[in-house]
Amino acid sequence: MKKYIIATIVGLLCIVGLAKVCSPASSTTQDNQAQKNKVEHKKSKPKQMKSQAELARPYKDPKDLRKAGSWKSRSEKKKYPDISDPKKVVLRVSLKGNRVYVLKNGKVAYTMLSTAGVYKHGKSATPTGTYRIQEGRGESFFNQGLNEGANNWVSWDPEDANVYLFHSVPTMALGDYNLKEAKKLGRTQGSHGCIRLSVPDSRWLMEHAQPGTKVIIKDK
């Protein structure tokens, strides 16, 4: 009889132990484990590597800057700054960064998406150096030799020959914008030497950039 009682107690203990092992975890335990897994996932998430273009930019992109390829809109959502005094304004171009920075009194007042000259053998088709905005400007042009044109141009050509310009994304023979090239805006290089801007940005610069305004062009 005693052996039977002992065997029964041992059997009950095994059943209870097995139930504890096989029973699902409580909601509290599951929540704790889920939280732990979430924290571990956050810790293990690798940092996103910066692109070569991001590394080439001398200034951080503003929060309201539109995404690359936004050629129909002004680059920033805020109002354009006053650039009527050429002594206080510098247009700083980052060729590899695909940006034009409007500096006022040494500080970034506005950032524009841009596309400059393609690189061949490590050199851009857009010359680097310090230049000045010239008198030359206009609504549109078309280059028969390149079979390409643009709108809203203003010259920074050192020879004042209207060869090197700020202008809109390129147009085709019938005046329509070249959508394939427009998508490069703010993303990569693509021009023959001029600096492309969005349609509104180029219009604003053509209308308001004063002759004598300094233009500084660098690879980065």
Q: Judging by beta carbons within 10 Å of its beta carbon (0-12, 13-18, 19+), is residue 167 exposed, middle or buried?
A: buried
Q: Which entry of 41, 121, 167, 208 is annotated as an active-site residue?
A: 167
Among 187, 186, 210, which Cα is nearest to 197's? Answer: 186
Is there a catalytic annotation at residue 41?
Answer: no
Asked if 93 and 166 count as a contact pair (C-beta separation under 8 A), the reply is no
Q: Judging by beta carbons within 10 Å of its beta carbon (0-12, 13-18, 19+), is residue 64 exposed, middle or buried?
A: exposed
**How far apart, in Å, are the Cα atoms of 155 and each of 9, 58, 206?**
98, 24, 9
For residues 133 and 211, what is the distance between their CA atoms, to the nearest angstrom? 5
CA angle 11, 13, 16 (to 5 degrees): 110
Q: Which entry of 14, 22, 194, 208 is annotated as an active-site residue?
A: 194
How many whole angstroms from its chain centre is CA 93?
Answer: 14
- How long, in residues, is the chain? 220
For residues 124 and 116, what is the distance between their CA atoms, to the nearest angstrom? 8
Is there a catalytic annotation at residue 22?
Answer: no
Catalytic residues: 167, 194
